[in-house]
Amino acid sequence: MNGWLQHLPILPVLLPLCTGALLLLSSETQRISRATISICATIAQLTVALVLLVMADGHMAAPWPGEVGVYALGNWAAPFGIVLVVDRLAAIMLALTSTLGLATLIYSLAHWKRAGIHFLPLFQLLLMGLNGAFLTGDLFNLFVFFEVLLAASYGLALHGSGAARVTAGMHYIAVNLVASLLFLIAAALIYGVTGTLNMAELAQRAATLGEEDRILFNLGAMLLGIVFLVKAGAWPLNFWLPDAYGAAAPPVAGIFAILTKVGIYALLRFAVLLEDAGTPAPFGGDWLFYCGLATIATGTLGVLAAQKLDRLAGFLVIVSSGILLAAFGFSGTSLTGPALYYLVSSVLASGAFFLLIEMAERNRTAAADMLSITLEAFGLQDKHESEHPDEMAGVAIPAAMAFLGLAFFSCALLLTGLPPLSGFVGKFALLAAAFSAPPEASIQQAAMFAIALLLSGLAGMIALSRLGIRVFWDTERPAPRLQWIEAGPVAALILLCTLLSLGTEPAMSYFNAAAQSLHDAPAYVGSVLPATTVKGAP
């Protein structure tokens, strides 16, 4: 049995790759539909991710020694061969990706998969790139998996029709192509001075560099940090995000909710590995903390200014990225566990909200976004309603509208951090950890972080209340009709957030353990590199 289990780390990459190729070669006329193949493959990925999650926590016998699993492709040991590395953090991100991917994929089967060609293969390739980015232990292969997920996301961002979608998609593509070029230059600089791109060996060799090589290494690390900040949606490099996410098809925007977390994951991983080598900006010092505060501020202003739910959802993603950047850049390591809890909650809630927006705004009238005083000024007010107000004493609420209202209210609680759901638990844990961190961190840092969290939550509550009134008080709209294939994924994601809040103690315990193992960089390096590896400069 262990002979098969040792190959589990490669399956999150291999399964979507083979599925995507099979979907490209298959046709809709075959007996087994492409949708069935895609769903089965995604369920298989989720199953593998959950097994790896249990193994990494030690609740199931793992086929590798210690808590960190290393899979050497081609049986070539690191640093000479490519390796995939599984620890608690990587397993969490794999499970989160598969969960969100399954929900958005099921939602897309209602009609969005038929809005353009090759949606299902591109979706699988996106999952492949995400899974590979979370698993890889090699900098160049991180670039490769970034390009795989970005190439797939380009097609998905343009999926469907409409000038706004094409315009926003082209901006998204242009920004990420520039970021990819910077990534390649950074990798070349780092390889030129260290002679390796293996993350574990890189952490060892960077500490032994001379003064001249150190300058080039810091330049490469700075470019690499800029790339990760672009992916994370950090200020001032996030101008493209609200339009790109808001204009994308709902299931595409839903899975895009996790794309910014890839950049945050990479920043966190490299910051820990390079800590002993004198971490350059933006990986070290207070730089990341203040970048996170600036990101929260710009996202909060965007939330208040948003006049449409899709743009509001994009700015809420920016706010969540800013909170995570500030938490990971906070002096000390006490915020990492609560930040991982908040990351999972915000990704699930954002994905559900992107899916919910389309259902909530379906069949709305053009006048629904206009203020009532504007309607009256232009003579657009319903005359029947004004002449006979007593006839509108009661309005029937169909089951679909009740579901939409409850789901919208739940997402509002989750995204703004109001009790009692997991969004509140995550923010409360962050604040509690921030104020208990001194003397490692100053009380001023904790106060600024608390103010940023409270003001961003207040702004989100104001904006969601304002736009929610416009959506649900549109009396001229017909009764909404929902399919279970649309309502089911949204309900499932919200239910997962609810379960996360109910199981706060075991969940927080797991995330704290993941944070502890993440910051144990020597254990990571010792697991990846064989004991006979020679340390030192090349």
**170 within domain boundaries:** yes
- What pLDDT does residue 378 have? 45
**534 within domain boundaries:** no
- What pLDDT does residue 514 have? 84
Q: Are 279 and 263 in contact (CB under 8 A)?
A: no
pLDDT at residue 102 tops 90: yes
Kindly indicate the confidence band of residue 437, based on its pLDDT and cuts at 50, 70 and 90: low
Task: Name which of 52-56, 250-254, 392-396, 526-530 the model is least confident about.
Answer: 392-396
Alpha carbons 82 and 97: distance in angstroms, whole number: 23
**301 within domain boundaries:** yes
Beta bridge partners of 136: 84
| CB-CB neighbours of 526 under 10 Å | 15
**388 within domain boundaries:** no
* Domain of 261, in residue numbers: 2-379+394-528
Kindly indicate the confidence band of residue 30, based on its pLDDT and cuts at 50, 70 and 90: low
For residues 29-57, give the mean pLDDT: 84
**Helix, strand, or coil (residue 231):** helix
CA 422, 426, 432, 436 dihedral sign is: positive
**515 within domain boundaries:** yes
Q: Residue 158 half-sphere exposure, CB side, CA atoms within 13 Å?
A: 15
Backbone angles phi, psi at 83, to 5 degrees: -125, 150
**248 within domain boundaries:** yes
Task: Using alpha carbons, select from 216, 244, 253 the residue that is nearest to residue 356.
Answer: 253
Burial-class residue 390 by CB neighbours within 10 Å (0-12, 13-18, 19+). exposed
pLDDT at residue 531 tops 60: no
**538 within domain boundaries:** no
- Tell me the C-alpha to C-alpha distance, in Å, between residue 399 and each of 216, 352, 479, 481: 62, 19, 10, 9
294-309 pLDDT tens trace: 999 999 999 998 888 8
- How many domains is the chain built from? 1
Kindly indicate the confidence band of residue 368, based on its pLDDT and cuts at 50, 70 and 90: very low
Kindly indicate the confidence band of residue 385, based on its pLDDT and cuts at 50, 70 and 90: very low
**233 within domain boundaries:** yes
471-493 pLDDT tens trace: 777 545 555 666 777 888 888 99
For residues 208-212, give the mean pLDDT: 79
